[in-house]
Amino acid sequence: MIGKPSVSQYEGVLIYFLWSVTDLFLLYLFLNSCSRYPLRKYYYIDLKMTWTAAQQYCRENYTDLATIESMDDINMLNPDFYYSSAWIGLRDNPESWKGTVSSNANSWRWSASGETSKTGYQAWNANEPNNVGGRETCTAMRTNGKWNDAQCETQLSFICYTGKKKICFIPTFQTWDSALKYCRQQHADLAMIEGSAENTQVFSVIPVDTLPIKQAWIGLYRLPWTWSDMSQSTFRNWLPRVPDNYGLNQFCAAENPKHYWDDKDCTADLNSCSHYPLRKYYYIDTKMSWTDAQQYCRENYTDLATIESMDDINMLKPDFYYSLAWIGLRDDPQSWMTAMGSDANSWRWSATGETSKTGYQIWDPSQPNNYHGDQTCVLMITNGKWNDMPCQGKQSFICYTGKKRSEFINSTN
């Protein structure tokens, strides 16, 4: 990595994780170490539900209905979600109206926190909210990203998000460089700390009796001081008169017993943390139609399998030995328009109702061909390639779970 110090011994690691199906902050600490993902990742769910049912769905499968605190959140949504109207997590307290119509920020509260916006951000459409009929106490987002109050019983698509963080301490002694490599192999990164609350959170997971000196690597390194995931946070919590580069070889940062940071020799020995992949796959050796398989996966896992890269295929190959199995890809029959093609925009994943975010496809030769004009569901065959087939055919299938979990790893290595 350009600008990253080279190290060779071992220190500990802490990783901070985002739960639920994705993208999200992770922290790495090596002495002990942590990793980070973006705070929020949004998912457009193309199922029609009331606001309350959508809230329940998001809480069971992601974190909650979408919380939007700034234009940056809107910008994260716009490239990915194409919708006419979709529920977000904002709901009004009917008692706040008091006979008048108002867009007072204190009147509207987010599902995830039960609180008003921390930033005071609002993006109402012109003349909204207007509480037509006295029953419009839930919020839908329109195509232009603006908000509209609507009756909560209306059935609309909706937007969920993932955003919960968890810190995990891994007591494996490694250098900063080895910790960084380990964390990235686990799909995370060393800890990027953006404020005093996160700093306290990171410190709290380091077991008091794990090390003779309670400290752990974080993702900050010198030349100049930069987070390992290249984040731009300017938060610093150095000890007085530190960093001092004592001995001219202190190019990595660690958290000390008093919550402050110290610059350290990157070859010092300290521990680490890990998380599990975003998806885990389950081969179900029961014959069902694609629709029945979808229902089974949604009731018992997250959904039929979504496959966005060769990494997903590789996760499947060692564990599942099958000749044919449904995956979560289905075609929009309107997209064929009397022509044959494998246009990525034509095929959508069951879990999101969206096309592939990566554009990844792995069709078998001459597929999809829509033979007889009724092949709108997708089977994975022995070699991992895809084949379009009639949805009513009964086949085995692959489900997945999309929530991440973390685990404390006690290692003497």
State how far the Cα of 168 lies from the Cα of 171, in Å rounded to an integer.
10
Q: Cα 332 vs. chain centroid, distance in angstroms?
A: 26
Question: Quick one: 187 and 95 in the same domain?
Answer: no
Q: Cα 264 vs. chain centroid, distance in angstroms?
A: 32
Alpha helices in 4-142 (DSSP H): 51-61, 71-77
pLDDT of residue 51: 94
Q: Give the chain's residues under pLDDT 50.
A: 1-38, 97-102, 187, 229, 272-277, 336-342, 344, 403-413
According to DSSP, the residues that pair with 255 across neighbouring strands are 216, 261
Pick from 113, 138, 162: which residue ends a domain?
162
Which residues constitute the domain of residue 320? 280-401
Question: Quick one: 192 and 292 in the same domain?
Answer: no
User: Is residue 319 assigned to a domain?
Assistant: yes
pLDDT of residue 318: 53
State how far the Cα of 198 lies from the Cα of 16, in Å rounded to an integer.
10
User: Is residue 383 assigned to a domain?
Assistant: yes
Closest CA to 145 of 131, 162, 128, 132: 128
User: Is residue 251 assigned to a domain?
Assistant: yes
State how far the Cα of 173 lies from the Cα of 263, in Å rounded to an integer.
17
Cβ atoms 321, 391 nearer than 8 A: no
pLDDT of residue 275: 36
Question: Quick one: 318 and 208 in the same domain?
Answer: no
Amino acid identity, position 36: R
Cβ atoms 399, 353 nearer than 8 A: no
Question: Quick one: 271 and 285 in the same domain?
Answer: no
Q: What is the dihedral of CA 355, 306, 316, 59, to 10 degrees?
A: 150
User: Is residue 51 assigned to a domain?
Assistant: yes
Question: Quick one: 315 and 386 in the same domain?
Answer: yes
State how far the Cα of 214 lies from the Cα of 380, in Å rounded to an integer.
50
pLDDT in tens, 68-102: 877 667 666 655 555 568 999 998 866 554 444 44
Distances (CA, A) of 273 to 5, 102, 216, 316: 21, 48, 11, 25
Question: Quick one: 232 and 304 in the same domain?
Answer: no
Question: Quick one: 221 and 79 in the same domain?
Answer: no
Pick from 129, 162, 195: which residue ends a domain?
162
User: Is residue 406 assigned to a domain?
Assistant: no
Pick from 162, 182, 215: which residue ends a domain?
162
State how far the Cα of 298 lies from the Cα of 36, in Å rounded to an integer.
28
Buried b (16+ CB within 10 A) or exposed e, 317-336: eeebebeebbbbbbbeeeeb
Question: Quick one: 198 and 338 in the same domain?
Answer: no
Question: Quick one: 202 and 286 in the same domain?
Answer: no
State how far the Cα of 271 lies from the Cα of 218, in Å rounded to an integer.
11
Closest CA to 16 of 205, 161, 173: 205
- Which CATH number does the domain housing residue 332 bear? 3.10.100.10
Q: What are phi and psi of 92, to 5 degrees?
A: -90, 150
Question: Quick one: 48 and 139 in the same domain?
Answer: yes
SS3 63: coil
Q: Which long-range contacts (CB under 8 A, 24 or more apart) does 313-316 make?
A: 313/362, 313/384, 315/277, 315/279, 315/280, 315/281, 316/281, 316/380, 316/384, 316/398
Amino acid identity, position 5: P
User: Is residue 294 assigned to a domain?
Assistant: yes
pLDDT of residue 59: 82
* pTM (global) more than 0.85: no
pLDDT in tens, 281-339: 888 888 999 999 999 998 888 889 888 776 676 666 655 555 689 999 988 655 544 33
Total structural domains within the chain: 3
Question: Quick one: 250 and 328 in the same domain?
Answer: no
User: Is residue 7 assigned to a domain?
Assistant: no
Question: Quick one: 156 and 51 in the same domain?
Answer: yes
User: Is residue 249 assigned to a domain?
Assistant: yes
Residue 357 has which token pair? 């975010």
SS3 338: coil
